[in-house]
């Protein structure tokens, strides 16, 4: 999961409890920023190749480049190139934004596993 260092103590406790139970947590403020990102009228994910979608899904699951490379039987260099392409196509700045964007669009984690606060931001 992801939490801002500026998060209130209560929010940190909530995040720790969820993560401690094996559930993901995504800071609502971060999700809000990702969802407000200027984008295309159509589905921006449609611009991604099948391999880029696989890698984006893996990012949403919190996998490292090394883990993704091993899973997909490619080199870490290839994964890095795909991540750069994903960021460019989606207009994102880093892999954390990409992971949050993917989760907000139903990738990586089943919707039922996302905290209630995060679901409210996604809607």
Q: List pLDDT tens digits, range 44-97.
A: 788 899 999 999 999 998 899 999 999 999 999 999 999 999 999 999 999 989
The secondary structure of the chain, three-state, reads: CECCCCCCHHHHHHHHHHHHCCCCCECHHHHHHHHCCCCCCCCHHHHCCHHHHHHHHHHHCCCCHHHHHHHHCCCHHHHHHHHHHHHHHHCCCCHHHHHHHHHHCCCCCCHHHCCHHHHHHHC
Annotate 33-67 with b (16+ C-beta within 10 A) or e (fewer). Answer: ebeeeeeeeeebbeebeeebbbbbbbbbbebebee
Is the pLDDT confidence value at 37 over 60?
Answer: no
Q: Which domains does the chain have, with CATH numbers?
A: 9-122 (3.40.50.2300)
pTM value > 0.85: no
Structure confidence at residue 33 (pLDDT): 64
Mean pLDDT of the chain: 80
């Amino acid at each position: 999961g992801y939490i801002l260092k500026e998060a209130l103590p209560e929010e940190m406790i909530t995040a720790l409890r969820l993560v401690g139970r094996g559930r993901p947590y995504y800071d609502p403020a971060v999700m809000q920023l990702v969802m407000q990102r200027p984008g295309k009228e159509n589905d921006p994910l449609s611009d991604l190749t099948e391999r880029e979608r696989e890698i984006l899904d893996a990012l949403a699951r919190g996998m490292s480049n090394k883990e993704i490379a091993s899973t997909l039987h490619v080199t870490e260099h290839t994964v890095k190139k795909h991540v750069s392409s994903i960021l460019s196509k989606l207009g994102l700045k880093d892999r954390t934004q990409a992971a949050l964007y993917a989760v907000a669009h139903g990738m990586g984690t089943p919707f039922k596993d996302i905290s209630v606060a995060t679901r409210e931001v996604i809607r």
